[in-house]
A and B are shown apart, each in its own frame.
Chain A
Amino acid sequence: MLDVQNLKTYFTTRGGAVKAVDDVSLQLDKGDALGLAGESGCGKTTTALTIMHLLPSNAEVLSGKILFGDVDLLTIDEERLRKEFRWKRMSMIFQGAMNALNPVFRVGDQIRQAILTHEDIAKASAWERVEELFSLVGINPDRARDYPHEFSGGMKQRAIIAMSLACNPDLVIADEPVTALDVIVQAQILELMRSLREKLGLSMIMITHDLSVIADTCNKAAIMYAGKIVERADIVAIFKHPEHPYTQGLIANFPSISGEKKGFEPISGSPPNLISPPAGCRFHPRCPYAEEICRKEEPEIVEIKRGHFVACHPKK
């Protein structure tokens, strides 16, 4: 359904070009939930914004294709994108969704505006849809008349989810949807997203730095580091047989109640500067297995097993 090929998005800054997304490729089939994981600043959000065509003015897409079905989103004109794709085929739940609602308008009105932007129906019918959406996400439909500041954090998140479903999209991109919430509410929201996905047959891209969230909701995962995809596979493969040292580091630090007690082994070093990333493999300064070739050559992404892609020089 969604095929991202060799995407490159750079930002122009005073210090130079920030290579935020550097040759990223992803694939999503209908009904998939892809977890896009990585540290802050590794390019996950920028990838999402590029797909949604919401980049700021200092960003530029240098190359690549974003095939939604058989349409390349990067080449169609803005009007067509707006009318056919925005919210109707793909929607997004932004990072820090707390502020995604305009404080001076009622929550229901804002969702209704989303519906009316794309469908020519009566205002009253649209309001009914809004109330249905509220029930769907577990909020009392009467609350649609309230203003955002009257909602709790968890409720706001549910409202945002409701908004993202307003036009029955095929794909929902969720950027850190539960990061700002406490653990119990987190679990509730994730459960909600899981059941909605099932009920509505949604495809999803779940962006987060928290692997537990991915484990909970996704069936595929892609790990990003410094603007590049380092590993991509289905969820069981990632957790049981991580191939890339970075992934292994992340999984290793993943605490498990049932597993044995082990100390934390944080990955040494810090994320690289994206204006001038390290030569060769971008992870090599922090990699415990780094060899000569890693310092010189960038590894290609290779399908080592069926459906399991890694970008790493094979150990000799």
Chain B
Amino acid sequence: MGIGTVAIKRGVNAIVLIGIVTVINFFLFRVMPGDPTAMMISPRMTHETRRIILHKFGLDRPLHVQFLRYIQQLLKGDLGISFIYQRPVLDLIVERIPNTVLLLLSSFIITVILSIITGLVAAWRRGSKIDISLIVFGLTLHALPIFWLGGLLILYFSVQLDLFPVIGISTPWLEHPNMFSYVADVLHHLFLPMMTLGVGNIGSLFLITRNSLLDVFSEDYVMTVRAIGVPNRTILFRNVLRNAMLPLVTIIMMRLGFIIGGAVTTETVFSWPGVGLLIFRSVMQEDYPVLQGVFIIITISAVLANFLAEVIYGYLDPRVRYE
């Protein structure tokens, strides 16, 4: 056995999950109390128009026929048309994905780096004042609503100190002479939302890192390398870190949904034009095709991210490969 088999097993699992999720998505939007077709066709249209469109989209057909159509459309990449924007949902989503990915990735890097550093410091100086303050700090971060943290940062750094722009991804009226200035502008706008998500998600990751490190420190194999005379720094970075990081991967896997949720509210606070803001707008405007489309895309991404994490875990922990 090896990593390949793990990948295949988990991959099959992922595909099954995607299938299940697609079915759920289909039925979810048809359970609306009242008129289920309000999901597909804007209730703002006249009765006649609705009847015509209902027929055109096959929404007056039996459920299983609708389901097949739904699958067909999904495979073609047709996620419907937005009520409000009158454009294909897929286009709307695709435009915004890069912004969300930028935000998620940058904040994720910050979260992981900060969690590992603080976890290391806390575990190394277990029981000291700094350990205890870090724990309290971590618990508080865990209890904070992330969007509130965003609001606070805006209030202080943008409004009071005027160091950062308040919202958006770039300054609308600014003309950029070159790519460089545009990137700089984006980064300037990225900083606060990135810090909000990055720091806000540290909470449990820090605690898990700390506990995991403490567990590993007391393992026999660590005493062995100490006896061998391996220098402390090498022990930390080579022998300990890999073992201690395993629970971290698992926890990140489990908290993926939570991280995505945080991105939704953070984008809303900062008006960051990503997928999360799209969800917010579509909820406010009752733009159901968009909501449905974004939901299925997010869910499939989550399944894929999970799959990736499982494969990474299989790489890090050889014991998993031999089930």
Q: Is the interface of B mostly helix, strand, loop or mixed?
A: helix
A86 at interface by CB-CB < 8 Å: yes
- Partner among B221, B316, B319 whose Cβ is within 8 Å of the Cβ of A147: B319
- Partner among A54, A83, A102, A113 whose Cβ is within 8 Å of the Cβ of B227: A54
Least CB distance, A168 to chain B, in whole angstroms: 13
Find chain B residues with CB under 8 A from A21 CB: none
A252 at interface by CB-CB < 8 Å: no
A113 touches B225 (CB 8 A): yes
B219 at interface by CB-CB < 8 Å: yes
Residue of B with least CB distance to A147: B318
Find chain B residues with CB under 8 A from A81 CB: 229
A161 to B292, CA, bound (A): 62
A104 touches B219 (CB 8 A): no
A140 at interface by CB-CB < 8 Å: no
A263 to B219, CA, bound (A): 42
Least CB distance, B311 to chain A, in whole angstroms: 16
B225 touches A103 (CB 8 A): no
B224 touches A100 (CB 8 A): yes
A101 to B225, CA, bound (A): 9
A149 touches B322 (CB 8 A): yes
B316 touches A100 (CB 8 A): no
A54 to B222, CA, bound (A): 11
Find chain A residues with CB under 8 A from B229 CB: 81-83, 85-88, 117-118
How does the 8 Å CB contact mask read for A58-92 relative to B, with 1 for contact and 0 for none?
00000000000000000000000111011110011
A136 at interface by CB-CB < 8 Å: no
A54 touches B226 (CB 8 A): yes
Find chain A residues with CB under 8 A from B231 CB: 82, 117
A226 to B319, CA, bound (A): 41
B230 touches A94 (CB 8 A): no
Knowing A94-B220, A96-B220 touch, does A103 contact B318 (C-beta < 8 A)?
yes
Residue of B with least CB distance to A90: B227
B228, B242, B318, B319 — most chain A CB neighbours (10 Å) = B228
A102 touches B318 (CB 8 A): no
Find chain A residues with CB under 8 A from B219 CB: 99
How does the 8 Å CB contact mask read for B308-323 relative to A, with 1 for contact and 0 for none?
0000000011110010
B239 at interface by CB-CB < 8 Å: yes
Residue of A with least CB distance to B126: A57
Find chain A residues with CB under 8 A from B220 CB: 94, 96-97, 99-100
A149 touches B227 (CB 8 A): no
How does the 8 Å CB contact mask read for B208-232 relative to A, with 1 for contact and 0 for none?
0000000000011101111111110
Q: Which residues of B contact A (CB under 8 A)?
A: 219-221, 223-231, 234, 238-239, 242-243, 246, 316-319, 322
Q: Which residues of A contact B (CB under 8 A)?
A: 52, 54, 81-83, 85-88, 91-92, 94, 96-97, 99-105, 113-114, 117-118, 147, 149-150, 163
